[in-house]
Amino acid sequence: MKKTLVLLALMFTAFILHAQKLHIDGKISDSEKKAIENATVYLLKEKDSSIINYTATNKEGKFSLKIDDVKEPSILKIDADKLSSYSKKFEKIDQPLSLGDIQLEKQSIVNNIDEVKITASPVKIKKDTIEFSAAAIKVRPDSKIEELLKQIPGVEISNDGKITVNGKEVDQIMINGKPFFDKDGKIALQNLPADIIKNIQFTTTKTKEEELSGKAAQSQNTTINFNIDEKKNKGLLTRLTVGYGSDKRYEASGLASYFKGDTKVSILASSNNINSQGFSRDEVFDSMGNGRNAWMMQGGSVSTIGNVTYYNQGGGTRGIQRSTTIGLNYSDKMGKNADLDSFSLMHSDSNTESRSKVSRSTLLPNYTLQTNSESNGENESKQYSFDTSVKIKLDSMTSVYFSPRFTKNSSFSFNNSQSSTLKNGSLLNESNSYSSNDSENNSFNPYIYFSRKFKKKGRVLSANMNSSISESKRDNLSQSQNTFYDENGITKDNRDQLAKNKNQNSSFNFSAGYSEPISDSSSVNFKIKYEARSARDLRNVNDFDNTTGDYTKFNQLLSNNMKQRINQISPELSYQINKNKLNFWASVNLDISDMKVNSIYNGQQYDLQKNFVLPEYNLNLYYQLGEGKTLSIYNYSNFNIPTAEQLTPYKDESNPLITYQGNPNLKNTWINNLYLYFNNYNKVKNLSYYFNIGFTYRNNDIINFSTYDNAGKQVVTYNNVSGNKSINAGGGFSKNLKWKNNKLTINPTFNMNYNYNNGFVDGQSFTSSSYNLNPGLNLVYEIKDKMTIKPSYRLGYSFSNYTNYNLKSVNTANQSLKLELTNYMLKGGFVFGNDFEYNTNSNIAPGFKKDFYFWNTSLGYSFYKKQFTAKVKIYDVLNQNQSVRRTITDSYFEDREDLILKRYIMFSISMKLNKFAGKKL
C-alpha cells in the first residue's frame, strides 16, 4: 500500500513539474495595425482537431505559446472578435518559432452560409473569465447541462450538491445571464438539456453594483453562465416523470420551458415522498431513490463548521419528507431600455416526520455529564414566494435596478422528547416533554440600485436602497415534567404553558458612492452608508388554570417585552487598481453605531444604551501568473458588537434545564482573517490543481460562561476571551488520461482544520485544540458509451486535546468507500446502474451502529426515439441505510441517529418532447 501511494505521489509530482520545451511567438494586430488584446491562440492536431495548447494575447497583442515537440501535422489558429480567423499548418515542430507580426482582417459578409464550415474556438480566456465551447465537450445524448460541468477539469460537485471550481464555491448559475427560477441553479442543472448550450462561462461573482457600474469583482466566489445556442433559443422543452413503488412511495414531476430570443417562460411542478430535493432527470442512474443529490447525500461525509466537526454515516434529509412544489418563471426584454431579469412565483408544501436518538458527553473540570435523549415529531409547512428583478437603462450612461421579494410561510410542528442526565452513573435530572408550534411569517424585501456613469471612463456615481420588513407570530404549547435529584432530595419543575410570541423586525439601508479615476487602471472611491434596524420581541406566557380549564394564568416570570434600535453610519474610502494581470483593492471604513434597548422581564424595566466607533479594513490582491495560473490573497478585519440579549442582565428561565443571563460589560469582538488561494488550470494537459490556506484570529470573543449545580442544571452568562484562532487548508489535483475510447480521471483531495479555543466551564477556564484531517481519492474510468466506473475513498480523522477537563482527549475516525457502476447496453437503449457504499466509524457510543452497507440499483430502457424511458429502481437494497453522526466541540461531544428513508422499489416512466425552431429533438 505504501509503495502504491509513493508511486502515485511521484506521478502527480511529475505531472506538476513537467514544463513545455518549445514556444511559438508572435504579435497580433488588425488592419489598422492596432494591437489586439485577448485574441485566442491555439494549436490543434490535424488528424482529430484535439487541442495541443492554447494562450491569449496581452495588451500589446503579443503571445508566447508553450509546447513540447510536435512530431505530426498540426494547425495554429488565431481567433478574435469581429475579425477573420488566421491559420497556419506545420508538418512538425521541433524548434522555437517566431511568426512576427500577424494582421487579422475584418470579417467579410458571407452570402452562402452552407458553403462555409465554422469552427468555434474550444476555449477563450479574458482576464478572470474562462469560456468553454459546449461543442468541444463530449457528453452522451440526452445529458443535462450538469454533465457538461462534470467534464470540465477543476469542477467538483459534492455529495450535498455544492459546486466548486478549483476550490472556489459557485454561488450563482445563470442561463443567458439570468436566473432560471433560482440563482443557485439546481433546477437548471437537473432539467435543461446539454445539446441546447453553446458555451459555458466561469467568472468571479459580481454584485449588482459592480455589474452595473463596471467595477472589478471583489468576491471570492464563482458564477457559471450557460449561453443557449441561438439556433435552439427558439422552441419548446418539456419533461414529465411519474413513478410509484412499494410502501406507497411515489414521485411525479414536470417541466415545460418556452424559449424565443430574450423571452423565456418556464412552468414546473413536483410531488414526492422520497426526500427528493430537485426535479426529475431522464438519466436512469441519476434518477434513483432521492434523485442524485439527495441519494448521494445518504453517503458518509465529513465537514467542519466553525469549531464543530460532523462525522456522518448515512445522513441526508433528517426524517422522511413529503413535498409538493409548483412554480412559474418568466424573463424577457421589455422594449429597448428595460430588461426583465426574472419574474418568479413559487409555492411549496411539505410534511416531515422525524425521530432521533442522542448521546451527549458534556466535559467539566472534575467530571463528565452524560445526557441521553430521544425525540420524535412532525412538521408541516407551506410557503409562497414572489421574486422579480428589472434593469432599466434611462440613457446610455444611467441605469436603475429594482428587485422586490415577498415570502409567506406558515407551519405547524409537534415534538415529544425525553432525556436523562447522569454523573458517574448516578441520575441527576430527567425530563419528559411535549411541545407544539403554530407559526406564521411574512417578509418583504425591496432593493433599488442607481448608477450614473460619466464621459470620463471610470467616473461613476451610485446609490442603493435595501430594506426589509418582517413579522412572525408563533404559539408555543409546552408541557413538561422535570425532576432534579441532589443531596437535598427530589425537586420537581412541572410546566403546562402556552406562550404567544410576536416578532417584528425592520431594517433600512441606504448608501451612496462616488468613484474617480486616477489613471487608466486605478481609481479612488468614497462611499457613505446608513443603516437603521429596529426590532420588537413580545412573549406572553400563560399557565394552565384548572379553575377556568384554559391557559389564563399569566406567568410574569417568563413573559417579556424587548424593543431595540440601532442606527449606524459608515464612511468608507477605497482604492483600486485594475490591470490586465493584476487586481488590487483596499478599503477602510468606520462604523459609528448607536444602540438603544428597552425591555421588561419579570416586571422589571431594563434600559440599555451603547455607542460604538469601530474601524474596519479590507485588502485584496488578485494576480494572474500565467495562462490558467492565478494567485489571490485576502485580508480583512472587523468588529462584531454583542446582541441585545447578550448585554441585557435579565434571567431567562423559559428552559427548565438551562437559565440564561446577559452581561452588560461585554466588549466588542475583533476578528481578523487572512486567506491565500492559488490555482493552475492547464486544459492542454487535462491537468489542474489548487490549494488554499486561511487563518482567523478573534480578540474579545464572546463565549458562554456556564456553571452547573448539584442536580445538573445549567446557568449560562457571557464573557469575553481572547486568543481563539483557527487555521484551515486544502487542495486538490485533477488529471485526465485519454486513449482511444477510454478515459481515466485521477482526483486526490485533502482538507485540514485546526481550532484553538479557550473559555470557561463550571466557573473554571479551559483550552481545547482540535485537528481534523480529511484526505480523499476519486477515480473515474470511462469506456465511451459502454461503461463508467467511479470508485472513491474518504477518511475523516479528528483528535482533540483538552486542559482543565477530566477528559484529556477525544479521537475518532470515519471512513467511506464508494463504488458507482453504470453500464450502457444495446447502444444505450438499456442503462444499468449500481451504487455500493461502506461506512464505518471507529468511535461511537454504545447503542449506535458503527458501520453499514448501502446499495442502490436501477435498470432503464429508452424507446420511441428515446423520447420515453421506463425504469425500475431499488433504493437501499440491503435495507441497512442509517443516519449516524458524531459532533465534537470544545466543551462536549455527541452521537446522534436520525430517522431516514430506507428500502423501497419503484417503477417509473419519463417522457420528453423538445421542439426547436420547428424541428423535433
| Residue given cell 505559446 in the structure block | 65
Asked whether residue 288 carries a pLDDT value surpassing 80, the answer given is no
Looking at 294-303, 448-457, 560-569, which range is the least confident one? 294-303
Distance CA 564, CA 598 (A): 6
**Contact present, 697 and 725 (Cβ < 8 Å):** yes
For the record, the C-alpha cell of 622 comes out as: 488578485
Distance CA 340, CA 342 (A): 6
| Residue given cell 418539456 in the structure block | 238
Residue of 649, 681, 652, 653 whose CA lies nearest to 666:
649
Q: What is the pTM of this model?
A: 0.76
Per residue in 792-840, pLDDT (tens digit) is 999 999 888 888 887 788 888 889 999 989 888 877 688 898 999 999 8
| Residue given cell 406572553 in the structure block | 540
Query: DSSP readout, 276-299?
Result: --S---S-TGGGSTTHHHHHHTTS
Q: Which helix (H) or strand (E) holds 9?
A: helix 2-17
Residue 70, pLDDT score: 87
Distance CA 244, CA 188 (A): 25
Per residue in 535-573, pLDDT (tens digit) is 999 999 999 999 999 999 999 989 999 999 999 999 999
Asked whether residue 867 carries a pLDDT value surpassing 70, the answer given is yes
Q: Which residues pair with 147 in a beta bridge?
A: none
Average pLDDT over residues 164-172: 76
Instruction: State residue 248 phi and psi, 5-degree precision.
Output: 60, 30
Residue 667, pLDDT score: 93
Query: Is 891 buried (19+), middle (13-18) or exposed (0-12) by CB count in 10 A?
Result: buried
Residue 913, pLDDT score: 81
- Using pLDDT thresholds of 50, 70 and 90, give the confidence band for residue 920: low
Cα atoms in the Cβ-side hemisphere of radius 13 Å centred on 637: 12
Residue of 727, 722, 634 whose CA lies nearest to 670:
722
Residue of 716, 841, 737 whose CA lies nearest to 779:
737
Distance CA 122, CA 484 (A): 71
- Using pLDDT thresholds of 50, 70 and 90, give the confidence band for residue 259: confident
Distance CA 861, CA 758 (A): 59
Query: DSSP readout, 758-788?
Result: EEEETTEEEEEEEEEEEEEEEEEEEETTTEE
Asked whether residue 167 carries a pLDDT value surpassing 90, the answer given is no
Distance CA 319, CA 246 (A): 18
**Contact present, 675 and 651 (Cβ < 8 Å):** no
Distance CA 311, CA 851 (A): 12
Asked whether residue 392 carries a pLDDT value surpassing 70, the answer given is yes
Please indicate whether residue 600 or residue 843 has the higher confidence score (pLDDT).
Answer: 600
Distance CA 916, CA 235 (A): 4
**Contact present, 392 and 403 (Cβ < 8 Å):** no
Task: Characterize the bridge pairing of strands 74-79 and 86-90.
Answer: antiparallel
For the record, the C-alpha cell of 17 comes out as: 513539474
CA 716, chain centre distance (Å): 33
Q: For the CA atoms of 618, 624, 625, 626, what is the dihedral angle to 10 degrees?
A: 170
Average pLDDT over residues 35-56: 79
Distance CA 713, CA 659 (A): 8
Asked whether residue 382 carries a pLDDT value surpassing 60, the answer given is yes
- Using pLDDT thresholds of 50, 70 and 90, give the confidence band for residue 323: very high
Question: What average pLDDT does the structure give for the chain?
Answer: 83
Asked whether residue 762 carries a pLDDT value surpassing 50, the answer given is yes
Residue 916, pLDDT score: 66
Residue 124, pLDDT score: 67
For the record, the C-alpha cell of 221 comes out as: 466566489
Residue of 791, 782, 691 whose CA lies nearest to 736:
782
Q: What is the largest CA-CA distance in the chain?
A: 102
Per residue in 62-97, pLDDT (tens digit) is 988 888 788 889 999 888 877 888 889 999 998 899
Residue 2, pLDDT score: 43
Instruction: State residue 230 phi and psi, 5-degree precision.
Output: -55, -35
**Contact present, 659 and 716 (Cβ < 8 Å):** yes
- Using pLDDT thresholds of 50, 70 and 90, give the confidence band for residue 15: very low
Residue 742, pLDDT score: 83
What burial letters (b/e) apply to 278-288, b meaning 16+ CB within 10 Å?
bbbbbbbbbbb
The percent of residues above 70 in pLDDT, for the chain, comes to 86
Residue 713, pLDDT score: 87
Residue of 441, 325, 334 whose CA lies nearest to 389:
334
**Contact present, 62 and 52 (Cβ < 8 Å):** no
For the record, the C-alpha cell of 873 comes out as: 429502481
Task: Characterize the bridge pairing of strands 301-305 and 308-313.
Answer: antiparallel
Please indicate whether residue 451 or residue 289 has the higher confidence score (pLDDT).
Answer: 451
Residue of 466, 336, 453, 338 whose CA lies nearest to 403:
466
Please indicate whether residue 179 or residue 744 has the higher confidence score (pLDDT).
Answer: 744
Asked whether residue 112 carries a pLDDT value surpassing 80, the answer given is no
Residue 281, pLDDT score: 29
For 154, the 3-state DSSP assignment is coil
Looking at 46-60, 319-333, 499-513, which range is the least confident one? 46-60
| Residue given cell 454504545 in the structure block | 846
Distance CA 450, CA 403 (A): 12
Per residue in 659-715, pLDDT (tens digit) is 999 999 999 999 999 999 898 877 556 677 889 899 999 999 999 998 888 888 889
Query: DSSP readout, 599-660?
Result: EEETTEEEEEEEEEEEEEEEEEEEEEEETTEEEEEEEEEEEEPPPHHHHS--EEEEETTEEE
Asked whether residue 304 carries a pLDDT value surpassing 50, the answer given is no
For 153, the 3-state DSSP assignment is coil
Per residue in 725-736, pLDDT (tens digit) is 999 999 888 887
For 60, the 3-state DSSP assignment is coil
Query: DSSP readout, 504-534?
Result: EEEEEEEEEEEEEESSSSEEEEEEEEEEEEE
For 5, the 3-state DSSP assignment is helix
Residue 532, pLDDT score: 95
- Dihedral class, residue 330 (left if φ above 0, else alpha if ψ from -120 to 50, else beta): beta
CB atoms within 10 A of CB 355: 17
Asked whether residue 311 carries a pLDDT value surpassing 50, the answer given is no
Please indicate whether residue 306 or residue 793 has the higher confidence score (pLDDT).
Answer: 793
Looking at 112-126, 260-274, 430-444, 637-651, which range is the least confident one? 112-126
| Residue given cell 477518511 in the structure block | 795
Alpha carbon distance, N-terminus to C-terminus of the chain: 50
| Residue given cell 417562460 in the structure block | 265
List the Cα angle 430/435/439 in 5-degree steps: 150
Please indicate whether residue 220 or residue 255 has the higher confidence score (pLDDT).
Answer: 255
Residue 137, pLDDT score: 67
Average pLDDT over residues 501-505: 95
Residue 158, pLDDT score: 66
CA 24, chain centre distance (Å): 41
Asked whether residue 422 carries a pLDDT value surpassing 50, the answer given is yes
Distance CA 798, CA 864 (A): 53
